[in-house]
Amino acid sequence: MPMPRWWGRINKRVFNPRAIAGGTWPVLTHTGRTSGATYRTPLDAYPVEGGYLFVLVYGSGADWVRNILASGVAELRVGGEDLRLGSPRLISETEAFQILSDDAGWPPKIMRITEFLRMDLVPA
């Protein structure tokens, strides 16, 4: 069950800027599908074979998810390294839990998240 949208609005305005400034969270940079503006979103990014998996805490209707699905690409800054990602696709809970490592219990399993976004690394 995704988090309520009102919490997402608070996160976007209050906590996300602090998380980005702190530099400890992975940050996904993407382009707005209608504005063309550049956005940076701090997220949990789980490495999987050939790419990364993102937990859709607010569901697949979140702005950042819709932006990435529309553009097909994003940049991920993780551990001081910038990675280019492509081929975004929504995957099921079953598929996600097959590729997630066992130590990735929070938040997907505890919060009963059912939607995930998988992206592949794009060679430089």
Could you write out the DSSP letters of every residue in 30-47?
EE-TTT--EEEEE--EEE
- 25-80 pLDDT tens trace: 789 899 999 999 998 888 888 999 999 999 888 889 888 999 999 999 999 999 88
Which H/E stretch holds residue 18? helix 16-22
- 73-106 pLDDT tens trace: 999 999 889 999 999 999 998 898 888 877 665 5
pTM of this prediction?
0.80
Instruction: Give yes or no for a contact between 26 and 51, defined as CB atoms under 8 angstroms apart.
Output: no
3-class secondary structure, 112: coil
**All residues at 6 or more sequence positions from 119 whose CB lies less than 8 Å from its CB, including other chains:** 51, 52, 54, 68, 74, 76, 85, 86, 87, 88, 89
Instruction: Give yes or no for a contact between 39 and 29, defined as CB atoms under 8 angstroms apart.
Output: yes
